[in-house]
Amino acid sequence: MFVVTRPLLTASVVALTVAYSLGAAATTPFSVAADVVTAIPIVLFAVAAVVCWPLHPQPGPLPVPGAAGTRGHPYLPWVALTAVVVAWELVEYLAPGSRGAHPTLSSMADAVDRIFVLKALVFFGWIWLCVLIVRSGRAHPGAVPEP
């Protein structure tokens, strides 16, 4: 992505994202229109990540296990969070009773998707989360690409 410095450009980008989110919220879930409206940002952000992340991390020395200040695997928190969510989903899905008594993430998303404004807000937030992720991986000014 690019760094927006002018207020008019910033307002235009936000307005465009709001309009796109409202259009996405107007689609029926799992329809061709919803799939296309969702696929467009996915493709754009995938391309932006490839273009904006030209630098690769330099391998550093391997940390000594148990040494002070060493961290575990960098993806361990994400793996743990994913495991907790999957376990919760399975427990709630297999629990006897109604979906209201034992909601899964998809049933909670369905409840949000029923309200047009909330669906648009979730889509808007998803797009800007992607923007933040792409921008966080950009090369800093003055960084030198790997040979």
Kindly report, residue by residue over 102-139, the tens digit of the pLDDT: 677 777 788 888 999 999 999 999 999 888 888 877 76
DSSP-derived secondary structure letter, 30: T
d(CA 27, CA 90): 29
The answer to whether residue 128 sits within a structural domain is yes
Structural domain span for residue 109 = 7-56+75-136
The answer to whether residue 61 sits within a structural domain is no
The answer to whether residue 146 sits within a structural domain is no
The answer to whether residue 13 sits within a structural domain is yes
Query: For 10-22, what is each residue's pLDDT tens digit?
Result: 888 899 999 999 9
Label residues 111-140 b or e (16+ Cβ within 10 Å = b). Answer: eebeeeeebbebbbeebeebbeebeeebee
The answer to whether residue 23 sits within a structural domain is yes
The answer to whether residue 132 sits within a structural domain is yes
| Total tally of structural domains belonging to the chain | 1
Beta-carbon count within 10 A of 42 CB = 11
Q: Which residue has the higher pLDDT, 141 or 95?
A: 95
Taking only Cα atoms into account, the Rg of the chain, rounded to an integer number of angstroms, comes to 20
The answer to whether residue 131 sits within a structural domain is yes
Query: For 73-89, what is each residue's pLDDT tens digit?
Result: 666 787 899 899 889 88
The answer to whether residue 147 sits within a structural domain is no
